[in-house]
Each structure stands twice: as C-alpha cells, then as structure tokens.
Structure 1
Amino acid sequence: MDRSASRSVVRESLVLGAALLSVVFCGTASAAAPGDTRGAEATVAVARASGEIGCPVVYFDLGETLLHTADDGTTSYQRGAASYLRSLRERHIRVGLITNVPSSWGTTDAERAAKLKAEVDATWRGPVPFAWEDFGDRILTPRAETERKPAPILWQRAKADSGRCRVVYQAETAEEVMVASSLGFVPYQVGRPHRPAFLPVGLIELFGARGGGVMPGG
C-alpha cells in the first residue's frame, strides 16, 4: 500500500475512533450529564451479558509507549501506563508487545523476551515492577534484522496469532501506527496532545462488541 493510501486508512480509523469515543465519553442519548460514562458502561455491560463482547487483543510498542528511558539510562513506566494495563487486566483484555530487539538475543521469541526482561529489569527504577506476566507469550520480536519494524512481519505474525479477534496497536511513532493500520489493526498514536494518552478501555471493549474480529472495510 502506498503512503497516501496508508494515510487515508489512518484517517478513517481515527474518524471511527472519534465516533466511538463520543459513545464512550458521552454515553447514550439518554445519559445524564456530559462526562458521565454510565451510559457507555451500561452499553458494554449489556453487550457482555448478551455475549456480544468480542475478543480484542491490544498490542503495544514498548519504549516510550509503555516504558520511559531517562537520560541516565534507567527505565520506568510511561505516565499512566501502569494504571492503563491494570484496567485492561481487570477487563480480561489480552495484551501483547511488538518490539524491536537484536535478533542475536535468541533463536526464539521466548529467548529474546527473556533477554529483554533482564535488560529492562536491570535498569528499572519504578515503584512497582513492570507487568511482564500480563503479556504471556505475546511478546513478538524480530527473528532476523530484516524483520525489525517498520517491516510488516511482526504485525502480520501478531494478527495471525490473534485469529479473528480484533487487533489494536498503540505506539508513539506515527510511522508504526500507519503500518499497523494498513495491515488491519485499529491504530492509536499515544501521547498526543488534546486526547487520551492511551486508547480508552471502554472503546476497546466496544470495538470487540461491534463485529468481533472484522475491521470495517478490512
């Protein structure tokens, strides 16, 4: 897909996100005061009770998305990331990482993930440990240097591993968000001004409720 087409996909995804954000933050037409999310919560509760909530899987970049590296080389959670992961965990929404590490770190994703964990933990200065257990075996890393992002292979692997579940990708880099969008992910660039730091959890649940793993037009 050429760059102009990719930008179009991103714009369409963000328009969809904005429309659903209005549902999340404003509730239904009968909701009470602006900012009261009880209407949206009720919508999600009804969908969950009726079995309409699908199986979204939320993938993240790691550095400067979930983790921040300080000037002295120490690492900690990016602002709001720990509570955001906790909210996803409480709603039983699966999460994964798509992150570049040296392919020489191991011959399998598990080996490379173990090295990644050791590297991060050795420099960690946060008040609570990073929630590695949330990600299970969904830590995807390059098997060769040619697979490093923005090459599409890691996103393709993530989508294949997720079956028909709706897949979301959140990162701080516009280029990565654009590539993910072109491959059928719900894209969200984190840390942008004047909008939530991360894609709201209620919106992710609604993505799951609105059609399971099938992206509009994708």
Structure 2
Amino acid sequence: MDRSTSKGLRRASLALGAALASTVLCATVSAAAPVGTSGRATSDRAAIGSAASPSAQHACPVIYFDLGETLVHTADDGSTSYLPGAAAYLRALREHHVKVGLITNVPPSWGATDSERAARLKREVDATWRGSAPFAWQDFGDRILTPRTDAERKPAPVLWQRAQAASGRCVLVYQAETTEEVQVAASLGYVPYQVEQPHRPAFLPVSLVELLGRLSR
C-alpha cells in the first residue's frame, strides 16, 4: 500500500469513528441506514433516501459481507430468508452504486473455482428460500469468495486477502455478525462493522459508506 492510500485510509477510519460515535445522538445518521430488528423502519424512503447523483457513482468502496446470520437467516425448519432490514440495505447500496461482495465459508468440495462454488451456494440457498423476494445474487457479480481448501476457511485471512488483491486501491468494508471475523478483517485494513449490535444501526449507514467513497479518491 503506498503512502497516499495509507493516508486516505487513516482519514477514512478517523472520520468513520467520529461518525459512529455520534450515531446514537444524531437522528439523521441513524435514519440514513435501514434498520433490522422488530420495530425498526423498513420503508424504501428510510432505507434509500434521495437518489444518488451522477457524481456519486464511483467504484469505491467495496462492501463485503458474511452471508449466514449477516444477510440471511436459516430457521429451525431449514428455510432461509433475509434478515430484517437486509433486503432494504442491499437495495439502498444498489441505488447508490456501491459494489458489494460476499466472503463466506462453504465446503471446498462444492467446486474447483469460486464461480463453481458460488453456483452451488446459490442453488443451496435458493432451494430453501422462503422470502417474499429472491436473494439479490445479481448484486454480487463475481465478488463471491469461498475457500479453496479447508485451511482457507474463515477466520483464516486468505479470503479477505484475495478480496484485497482484486479490489485495487478501493477502501474495503467488511460487515459480519461475529466479533472474530470483524477483528480479522480490521487487522487486514478493512473498515469493520459488526451487524445487529444494540444502540446503533443494524448495518453501516449508507451515508458513511458514501463518506468512505469520497475519502478514498
């Protein structure tokens, strides 16, 4: 990482930390993201806000997610659906032209390549899906990273490192429900966000994602 990129990341981390510290007190920041527990707002207006202007269309940052219990939930009966607020959040990122990806553990035996394993993952999830709308696989493109061997399974750092190698100078965000994964991502230079924590938005607010995009230029 060159000096200018490192400086930009430091500025982004400082700005993000300051913004997150004020989330509880600042209603405008809280309203900028969809929220994901019972009683939280789920309307398109709250989730998306105003449409992004052409000047807001940019390649960075890229937001990577864990899948299970971060974006989707598997019920006791084996059915799968979005976690509350997840569909609206992905829709908001799509409206703001933010690229998203998945870093998720699946059996390496599911395929010889990421695309083969991703195809099997899609079949497995879709076969048990009970949501009113299908999972938004199209948003993730080829940015679905899965372990090639058992040794690459998270929390090993390999998948995060592979995402970094494919993302150039983009600031990378990682959102997951587990503390350990978030800590590993942070140690590798990702902007970390642990989802579904009390007293703050379920996901990293879209307004802060856009701030990261501006700071990464």
1:119 aligns with 2:124: yes
* 1:102-132 CA distance string (max 9 Å, x none): 0000000000000000000000000000000
Report the Cα distance in structure 1 between the residues aligned to 2:89 and 2:57, rounded to whole angstroms.
23
* SS of match in other structure, 1:137: coil
Q: Of the candidates 200, 211, 216, which is equivalent to residue 211 of structure 1? A: 216
Report the Cα distance in structure 1 between the residues aligned to 2:198 and 2:21, rounded to whole angstroms.
18
TM norm structure 2: 0.78
**One-letter amino acid matched to 2:27:** G
Report the Cα distance in structure 1 between the residues aligned to 2:216 and 2:140, rounded to whole angstroms.
24
Aligned ranges 1:41-190 → 2 under 5 Å: 49=55, 55-190=60-195
Cα distance, 1:211 vs structure 2: 3.2
Report the Cα distance in structure 1 between the residues aligned to 2:72 and 2:110, rounded to whole angstroms.
20
Report the Cα distance in structure 1 between the residues aligned to 2:57 and 2:106, rounded to whole angstroms.
37
CA RMSD of aligned residues (A): 2.7
Report the Cα distance in structure 1 between the residues aligned to 2:179 and 2:22, rounded to whole angstroms.
25
Report the Cα distance in structure 1 between the residues aligned to 2:57 and 2:114, rounded to whole angstroms.
33
The 1:198/1:36 distance shift into structure 2, 3 A limit, reads: closer
Larger radius of gyration: 1
TM norm structure 1: 0.78
1:201 aligns with 2:193: no
Q: Of the candidates 23, 27, 30, which is equivalent to residue 35 of structure 1? A: 27
Report the Cα distance in structure 2 between the residues aligned to 1:54 and 1:97, rounded to whole angstroms.
17
Question: How much identity, in percent, do the aligned residues show?
Answer: 66
The 1:140/1:36 distance shift into structure 2, 3 A limit, reads: closer
Matching residue of 2:18: 19
Matching residue of 1:215: none
Structure 2 gaps, min length 5 = 1-11, 33-48
* 1:132-168 CA distance string (max 9 Å, x none): 0000000000011100000000000001111001100
Count of aligned pairs: 187
Cα distance, 1:35 vs structure 2: 3.0
Cα distance, 1:55 vs structure 2: 1.1
* SS of match in other structure, 1:68: strand
**One-letter amino acid matched to 2:66:** D
8 Å CA contact 1:88–1:201 kept in 2: the answer is yes
